[in-house]
Structure 1
Amino acid sequence: MLNPQWLRSFTVLAEVGSFTRTAEQLKLTQAAVSQHINHLEQQLGPLLIRRTRQIDLTPAGHSLLAYCAELEQAGQRLTLRLSGGEQSKGQVSLVTPGSSGLFLYPLLLELQSAHPGLAIHHKFAPDTDVLNAVLNNEYEIGLLSTKPDNPHVAVSHFAQEPLELVTPAGATVNSWQDLQRLGFIDHPDGRSMATRILSRAYPNAGGIRDIPVHGFINQVGLILEPVARGLGFTVLPRYARKAFVRNEAISVAEFDYTAMDTLWLIHRAEWPLSARAKYALDHLKQKLVNMELM
């Protein structure tokens, strides 16, 4: 274990480039700073190239400086995580599917803007990765589109996520032939989502495999771009469609029923949610209620 005071002296020295100024900034003697650097070099090898009026770092010195930065960031993260009793201060860590994440992330940033003491850590991931991230304590809360059966996570209903058939603005979709003419913009969950809508909307027609594929994209934020350009239709959760910046260029087909996905909120069952996580979730739920998405 490297002495924190030695590392502090090295970090400041690398920043200011002078033993004299380092000693002044740290309120130490110059001899003490030199001693700290010598201790580090005895363990790690040469860290500095000493020139007249100039100090450069060796490759080992650059590696140590990066290590010091990582330690500082880890300390900041620890401080944020330990402030669990404060609802407007600390880290809120959330992992979600991409479709819901696109819509929810700006709402979380809105909350952070109102409470700068919060730090939002949001990761987009498929369901299996969401579950593992929560189980491994990498993220405090997660959202899943399938309800997990795991005794180590607490599960509760968060929201309903309707599926929508999205077409280019002005496109006419009155028949199966209209969809075949438009063509399908596929994505990783595209065929399964489309099947859930089309099997009920057109029960006597063929399946999604009978519709020409006019493109494929695995980035959820870009799936609607080819649709907006008139290149085909797709099926997405409403949250992903709401997050698209050019909604005037797309339309949502109307059907007599709605295919729904449920979003499930998970966190580790062994301990309660932090006050800030509850505060963030209340904020999200209220926003979704106001938008009639709950």
Structure 2
Amino acid sequence: MLVAMDPHLLRTYVTVARLASFSEAARELGYTQSAVSQHIAALEQDLGATLLTRRPVAPTSAGERLLEHAGPLLLRLDAARADVVRLAAAPAHGLTLAAAPTALGPRVLAALPAAGVTLKVLSRDAIPAAVATGGADLGLVDGLAAPSDPLRLPDVAPLSTRGAGEEPVCVLLPAAHPLARRPGLRLGDLVDARWLDAPDAGLPLAQLRAAGGGLGFRPALRYEGTDLRALTALAVAGHGLTLLPRPAATGVPGGVAVPVTEPRLVHRTELVHSGSLQGAAGELAVALTSGEGSPDAGS
């Protein structure tokens, strides 16, 4: 049964499947190749199914299904361990904050203590997992939402969230773009435009599609990175439009930030944490969430 599955065997299987090699998995895990083979054989015997073909090394259909379960299961185990260690450990000096690039607006930066903070800029999907597994004390995730609506976060562990602010969103255009002189833009008029697909640096196109009815917003160029300045440079150079929080879109040399007027959307930021917050983490959480519902959200 799945509940009796040995997590060590499961981790070995996930590593072999990811690397497509028993020898590479052994090297990464610090096992002998014979031990890795024994782990896979024991797991297959336990489940009564062949999980991997050997030449080449690749998951079978049963193995693919197990991989779908393995990630969340192992993440939950890591989160449980981190949660217990966090409770038992002595209070640490300093803290680690994981944040998406567009979550690091002026108000957030002003709230950071002068010293003792480690800032990790991660993709949005990686932030809840980092908090759950102890890689960060606090997380800041963001995205498009209707005013006052919470964000939809992946269910990786029992995490708590608090609203940390809302602000208008703008389309960043080159100054010479035909729409740059508009006082406002409707997303519905931009579904066939050339867009930048930058899921980890800007606001994801999937969220634009959801807001615009699920169609359009085709990427002209994909940027895989978390550097917001690189994204704005691509937009200003004419490689595609991008949607950003107003502070990130305003003041970009050679660019014009045009507000989105329809549908009514905001850039929402939420604080993610595990368990109760104390010390520096608690103080920063108060500073980050004290402005929730500020007048700027609807301006």
TM-score by length of structure 2 reads 0.50
Q: Within 1, Cα distance between the matches of 2:188 and 2:163? A: 38
Structure number with bigger Rg: 1
Query: Within the alignment, does 1:183 sit opposite 2:186 as a pair?
Result: no
Distance 1:177 1:255 in 2: 10
In the alignment, is residue 282 of structure 1 matched against residue 282 of structure 2? Answer: no
Instruction: Answer yes or no: is 1:138 the counterpart of 2:152.
Output: no
Alpha-carbon distance, 1:91 to partner: 0.7
Does 2:207 match 1:193? yes
Matched, 1:273 2:277: yes
Structure 1 residues 167, 253: CA separation in 2 closer, same or farther (over 3 Å shift)?
farther
Using the TM superposition, give the Cα deviation of residue 230 of structure 1 relative to its aligned residue in structure 2, in angstroms: 3.7
SS in 2 for 1:172: coil
| Conserved? CA contact 1:165–1:194, under 8 Å | no
Counterpart of 1:54 in structure 2 is none
> Per-residue CA shift, 1:136-175, capped at 9, x if unaligned?
2221111234335466322332223554322223533379
**The structure with more helix, counted as a fraction of residues:** 1
Aligned to 1:225: 233
Q: What is the CA–CA distance in structure 2 between the aligned matches of 1:288 and 1:164, rounded to whole Å?
A: 20
Instruction: Using the TM superposition, give the Cα deviation of residue 98 of structure 1 relative to its aligned residue in structure 2, in angstroms.
Output: 2.3
1:108 Cα offset (Å): 4.6
Q: How does 1:109-120 map to 2 (within 5 A)?
A: 111-112=113-114, 118-120=115-117
Asked if the contact 1:190–1:234 (Cα under 8 Å) also holds between the matched residues in 2, the reply is no
Q: In structure 1, what is the equivalent of residue 164 of structure 2?
A: 158
For residue 100 of structure 1, what is the aligned residue in structure 2? 103
Given the alignment of the two structures, is residue 208 of structure 1 paired with residue 217 of structure 2, yes or no?
yes
The answer for the alignment partner of 1:235 in structure 2 is: 243
* Equivalent residue letter for 2:134: N
Q: 1:192 to 1:247 in 2, by over 3 A?
A: farther
Correspondence for 1:122: 119
Deviates most, 189-198 or 220-229: 189-198
State the AA in 1 paired with 2:177.
A
TM-score (norm 1): 0.51
CA contact (8 A) 1:100 1:239 kept: no
Where do residues 36-115 of structure 1 align in structure 2 (5 Å cutoff)? Answer: 90-101=93-104, 106-108=109-111, 111-112=113-114
**Secondary structure of 2:206's aligned partner:** helix
Equivalents in 1 of 2:186, 2:127: separation in Å?
38
**Matched-pair contact (CA < 8 Å) for 1:100–1:240:** no
Q: Would you say the 8 A contact 1:163–1:258 is kept in 2? A: no
CA shift in 2, pair 1:108/1:153, >3 Å: same
Contact 1:196 1:259 in 2 (8 A): no
Paired residue secondary structure (2:296): coil
**Residues 169 and 265, structure 2, Cα contact 8 Å, conserved in 1:** yes
Percent identical among aligned pairs is: 17
Unaligned 5+ segments in structure 2 are 1-88, 143-151, 180-184
Shift of 1:273: 0.9
How far apart are residue 231 of structure 1 and its match?
3.8
